[in-house]
Amino acid sequence: MKSTKTVAGFLCAVLLFITAAIPVTANNQTASRPSCLAINAAEVETITVINRELHVSYAITAPSDRKAVVNTLNTLEYRPRTNASPDMDGLRLLSIRFKDGGQYQYWCHRNTLINDDKQLTDGLACADLYKLFDRFAKNYPANVEWLGYMNPYRITSLEIQGSNGTKTYRTNTSESQRKIILDICTRLKAYKPSKVRQLKPKETLKFSQDSGSLLYALTLDFETGREIYHINLYDNGEIGILVDSIPYALAYTSADQTLFQSLITALYLNA
């Protein structure tokens, strides 16, 4: 009897050892990895990098560069125990929008990477990602910061105020109105700034206070109901923008009058 118990105990010990020795499968390793670090590149529609200090954004259009961003995120070492006090110097925002309208935003601090208020890893693990950002800033033209990460698919209405009055387009009215909103937003996002100035409270939405006449004033409402964009466009190529949820406004001068005129023509045709 004692011998039988001894054998049974030995077999249990062997089974416990074998169970402990079995390596964790790939599925188990990725089970706790957040979806924002496991992206399907085929589902990505746009990638934008925003420099918060310079108030400009860079639309990453080359397939190889977009693939590099996705691959780098997917291979980052996930360190959920990171608990750093975010360094605000050199802050950049990475925005990835998907074909279904979904979006991930990553706050890229020098010492930590944050998504949805959760620290994903530390700055050291992000070295390769941040090197990509530096290269993009050299190779891509700058756009207006807030327009860069604006999601046009979340817009519910566009109001265009011009010399002939005010016209409003709504996404839920018709497909043709939705297409007009998306077209105007595409042209806004393509605006190329040369200079930027942060405006004081209640200051007119323009870069230079002594020149330029207002052509159009736009208002964009979003489905969240928490954000409204106010955008002024002037005949000298300047653009001013105020977002209700942000306590300051920005004004830019145009670096590409051809693109600016294309935007003005589209507004003229739809105002």
pLDDT score recorded for residue 224: 78
pLDDT score recorded for residue 29: 39
Q: In angstroms, rounded to a whole number, what is the distance separating the alpha carbons of residues 249 and 202?
A: 9
pLDDT score recorded for residue 18: 41
pLDDT score recorded for residue 31: 42
pLDDT score recorded for residue 14: 43
Q: In angstroms, rounded to a whole number, what is the distance separating the alpha carbons of residues 257 and 153?
A: 27
Ranges of residues in the chain with a pLDDT under 70 are 1-31
Q: Domains in the chain and their CATH numbers? A: 34-140 (3.30.1490), 146-270 (3.30.1490)
Q: Quote the pTM value.
A: 0.73
pLDDT score recorded for residue 211: 83
pLDDT score recorded for residue 21: 43
pLDDT score recorded for residue 75: 96
